[in-house]
Structure 1
């Protein structure tokens, strides 16, 4: 069986280079938001015209809002007002070491960001861990979300296929094993997730966000979201399937965690929604926004910026 995560460059386009994580941080600031475990400082960016249509980006595990850096220009060039932030325990946001992390609190904090920045109704774009936060936000107030874009993530807990390293970190020896995470092991895992080749530079910058303030040691605590997905499956799947505003699925089918098998479920449950599988001419894996930024940025930008009556779903 071919190893799509290490496909050679002659069979795939050259990867786009992400801006450095340090440069990404210069475009944002920190705000203090109250969550269930107290007050926390979150790194936040707002890009695009102040009067643009609001869009909120929710990133995945184990990285940060920096994941959106390559598609951001596609959105702001269309006049969208884009808010992106690092979830608690990720990137440049606070990373309390002994904190009990939960999706519920992440949703609280997202609402806190909206309140702090005076954001009312907003479109959402979510990936990986972020899709679960988005599902909880939809469960609370679906009318607040004007449009929804889903990228690869665990929408259905019964279809989630975590990597072996995720299963180990989620197990009883996770805290001990987390001390063995380094840039090399991180890069190896990322390459298993991506069907298109990732540059050493991009993986280095993604690692910088994760490892900031020793964030890699939090992986076992953050991975509790796997249990939360099972515990709240009915609530979150219902929120997903009952949402009736325009919806777009942008999917990398070669994703070993949530790829073609999840796309098949999406086709069954959402026969009239727009599902864009990224497999032609080159396959895409778990990180569509990094593996195919121009295509993904264009798809999302056009979907979010089109007039209400012209959205195809």
Structure 2
């Protein structure tokens, strides 16, 4: 499977959806069990590359996309980036490739898109798996730099970001070491096509998340299908402090807590791909 971001992109295609150019990639047998993977901020679908072989080997037909403003998708500027519009794009991808029902796996920013999709049509989602993300707004604990990026200063900070500052921020939220070469691929995906200039606009999603909080929580807690949480407890943003509420509110859900030393942090699929791939393959199969 692809190891670099460029190889990952070469294995997919860019499709025009409602006037937006969106990167989409499909892997696995065409007749396999459909699953859609939703990536996080500020990176791309390439985050899923380490676990893709496990899902394909399990017989899944895997669809990934880069949200608008991310990775190899278009990064229009100026533009109002909305989570609800990203959910629209996911639905357009499903329609474009003739999909009907699918399992859904979401991480970070993608969990909000996943909650929006659940709120719209839970019957379309056959099963749901969540990796670290802000499922409950009141439990979200942003770093200082993240709070700054949300405010007016973020307009400047986003443009001034360097690869070194990007790596230093990731180091604060990772529980396990990730090779610099892999972090470099994340940086390439984020900055391609004018990525730095859209960072402040992308960060407006926090206001939308607050506005939709009650609706999205109801969608999460009322979803009747099989649910799995694959969680990195060492994540300072959306880590172990979410687990008590998740266990209370979703008593039927399965939990895979990646607490083996060193405990996994905010990017489980990148930090601990063997455990994540195994857990997701078993759940999706």
Q: TM-score range by the shorter chain?
A: over 0.9
Contact 1:18–1:202 under 8 Å retained in 2: no
Are residues 260 and 18 of structure 1, via their aligned partners in 2, closer, same or farther at CA, if it must alter by over 3 Å? Answer: farther
Determine if the alignment matches structure 1 residue 212 to structure 2 residue 192. Answer: yes
Determine if the alignment matches structure 1 residue 33 to structure 2 residue 17. Answer: yes
1:88 match: 68
Give structure 1 stretches of 5+ with no counterpart: 1-16, 306-313
Map 1:92-241 onto structure 2 (within 5 A).
Answer: 92-241=72-221
Residues in 2 aligned to 1:193 and 1:297: alpha-carbon distance in whole angstroms: 20
Quote how far apart the aligned CAs of 1:23 are: 0.7
Residues in 1 aligned to 2:249 and 2:284: alpha-carbon distance in whole angstroms: 22
1:8 match: none
Residues in 2 aligned to 1:135 and 1:179: alpha-carbon distance in whole angstroms: 30
Q: Secondary structure at the match of 1:71?
A: helix
Residues in 2 aligned to 1:263 and 1:180: alpha-carbon distance in whole angstroms: 35
Give structure 2 stretches of 5+ with no counterpart: none
Within the candidate set 31, 40, 61, 1:51 is matched to: 31
1:5 match: none
Within the candidate set 267, 274, 277, 1:294 is matched to: 274
Contact 2:2–2:8 under 8 Å retained in 1: no
2:229 match: 249
Determine if the alignment matches structure 1 residue 64 to structure 2 residue 44. Answer: yes
Within the candidate set 11, 22, 43, 2:6 is matched to: 22
Contact 1:65–1:84 under 8 Å retained in 2: yes
Q: How many residues align?
A: 285
Q: Secondary structure at the match of 2:103?
A: strand
Deviations 1:16-45 (Å, cap 9, x if unpaired)? x981110111110011112xxxx1000000
2:56 match: 76
Deviations 1:247-268 (Å, cap 9, x if unpaired)? 0000000001000111121111
TM superposition score normalised by structure 2: 0.98
Q: Secondary structure at the match of 1:286?
A: coil
Q: Secondary structure at the match of 1:295?
A: helix
Deviations 1:157-209 (Å, cap 9, x if unpaired)? 00111111111111012111212101111111111110101111000001000
TM superposition score normalised by structure 1: 0.89
Residues in 1 aligned to 2:125 and 2:158: alpha-carbon distance in whole angstroms: 36
Q: Secondary structure at the match of 1:100?
A: coil
Q: Secondary structure at the match of 2:193?
A: helix
RMSD between superposed Cα atoms in Å: 1.1
Residues in 2 aligned to 1:264 and 1:90: alpha-carbon distance in whole angstroms: 32
1:14 match: none
236-245 or 271-280: which moved more?
271-280
Quote how far apart the aligned CAs of 1:97 are: 1.1
